[in-house]
Structure 1
Amino acid sequence: MDTTMSTQFIGELLGTAILVLLGDGVVAGVSLRKSKAEGAGWIAITLGWGAAVTIGAYSAGYMSPAHLNPAVTIGMAMTGNIGWDAVTPYILAQVLGGILGGILVFIQYYPHWKETQDSATILGVFSTGPAIRSLGMNLVSEIIGTFMLVFALLAFGMGDFGDGLNPIAVGILIISIGLSLGGTTGYAINPARDLGPRIAHAFLPIPNKGDSDWGYSWVPIAGPVIGAVLAAGLFMVLPI
């Protein structure tokens, strides 16, 4: 991909913003009071997130590698798919994109925040949280989910997909992880997807919001990074 770093930065930022807008958007639709999608449930959320990743990747793919995820960026750098000099700007772009996506979800559902009284439901639109709070096991869940994500992405890279089909396969992967592994922590598997909107939640004037649960916020950062490192490490020692 012969693009400048500034173009790649924009691609990662916009792609992540679209991912979060559509992904957190489906959570908002399902969770917030008086939304037409209220109560649609976990299946709708996982399908929505799979589609969000696919659309985000298609939207950014002509400008950048469309990682849209710091864990993926780290895994790709470890395996030599990108240079380490790209890691910091990519991650910065992804986090900024997450913040922008969170702001857009706030605007999109503006009348519904006042109607939603539960602060945990509001936070759950922007960031992940555990079904059962057990930080050690929550961390393990994020490690396993992200390991599956990054290892599968690296494996996909060894195959021969038709032109433009890779983002669809990635979307199916996200749906699979969400349905199979996401019930424990909400499957962040992406530090920017969680941290960016959590920052937006912290500063936006959202009616009825509580705190941003910074005590948990390290789990969806550390878990995905550890999972990505383990996946890339295994991938590099397997015979190819």
Structure 2
Amino acid sequence: MSNGDIFVGEVIGTAILILFGAGVCAAVTLRHSKARASGWIVIAFGWGFGVLAGAYTAAPLSGGHLNPAVTLGIAIDTGKWSQVWVYLCGQMVGAMLGAVLAYLVYLAQFNANVSAPARSAGSPQGAAEEPPAGTDGQGGPTPTLGIFSTIPEIRNPVANLITEIIATVGLVLPVLAFGLTKGLGQSGTQVLVVALVVVGIGLSLGGPTGYAINPARDLGPRIVHQFLPIPNKGTSDWGYAFVPVVGPLIGGALAGLIYNVAF
């Protein structure tokens, strides 16, 4: 694969991944969305379908890594490092592009992210309805960072880092092991199985931190969130940003080392 093919494939594939992933988070979070408050299971499957669509699209060009942790694990396993930088650049550009596209899809909802309580159709002027799902519980603006990047439920950097490391090993090690099952690659179902693994990680391991398990997936959209003109968007939380970058990179490296030793 040429550097150009790898870059284009990773940009397109990662953009699709983030479009689906940030899109489902926006759908569940923002007021005036038909999917608001539909829950964690919807989010987990939305991200899984994002992996499915993005990786299948990128596979003919780049192999569909879409994740620096996966790229790092593969490089440690194979010893091939010369094109790692191309993968990483494509993944970051794609993640930022996907975040912008998700913002544009929900532009009206983001612009409606104001502090005034919503009013039911037909209710008397000034009569406020129950606060819409996805608001601050008082009818106030919805913090938007969680649509783009991860936020821990309990802020404990050491515990959060451990969660991200373990969850990323749980992703990258199976990705490497699936390469031993030739039938998966030949039938084209390998990407489907990886997507289901991502759904499983979200459902079982995603509760503490929101399961970044992908540095580009968290950092690229966080940068975009910093600069997007979203009303009442809240903080981009740069104090936490190192956890969903460092944790998955450590997890990807550990998965590559474990795979080299055990298989």
Structure 2: distance between partners of 1:98 and 1:37: 23
**Equivalent residues of 1:32, 1:121 under 8 A apart:** no
**Structure 1 segment 183-198 matched on structure 2, within 5 A:** 183-198=207-222
How big is each residue's C-alpha offset from its partner over 1:124-146, in whole Å with a ceiling of 9 and x where there is no partner?
00000101111110000000000
Task: Give deviations 1:146-188, integer Å, cap 9, x for gaps.
Answer: 0110111011111121421111001100011000000000000
Q: What is the TM-score with the length of structure 2 in the denominator?
A: 0.87
Give CA-to-partner distance per residue, 1:78-117, whole Å, 9 cap, x none. 000x720111111011011110011001110001113335
Which residue matches 1:54?
A: 52
CA contact (8 A) 2:142 2:232 kept: no
Residue matched to 2:89: 92
For residues 101 and 19 of structure 2, what CA distance do their matches in structure 1 show? 6
CA RMSD of superposed structures (Å): 1.2
- Amino acid in the other structure paired with 1:25: G
Give the 5 Å matches for 1:159-174. 159-160=181-182, 161=184, 162-174=186-198
**Deviation string, structure 1 residues 30-70 (Cα, Å, up to 9, x no partner):** 11111000011000000111111010001111111110000
User: For residue 116 of structure 1, what is the aligned residue in structure 2?
Assistant: 113
Alignment-mate amino acid for residue 83 of structure 2: A
1:71 to 69, 72, 75: 69
Name the counterpart of 2:121. none
Letter in 1 for 2:170: M
CA contact (8 A) 2:13 2:55 kept: yes
Secondary structure at the counterpart of residue 79 of structure 1:
helix
| Equivalence for 1:155 | 177
SS at the partner of 1:93? helix
Asked if 1:133 corresponds to 2:155, the answer is: yes
Give the CA deviation at 1:207. 1.1
How many pairs are equivalent?
A: 236
Q: Distance in 1 between matches of 2:153 and 2:52?
A: 26
Aligned partners of 1:73, 1:129: CA distance in 2, in Å?
A: 24
User: Highest Rg: 1 or 2?
Assistant: 2
Structure 2 stretches of 5 or more lacking a match?
115-135
Residues of 2 paired with 1:213 and 1:223: CA distance? 17
Share of identical aligned residues, percent?
50
Give TM-score scaled by structure 1 length.
0.95
Which residue does the alignment assign to 2:119? none
Check the 8 A contact 1:113/1:208 in 2, yes or no.
no
CA distance in 1, matches of 2:65, 2:204: 22
Unaligned runs of 5+ in 1: none
Distance 2:85 2:157 in 1: 27
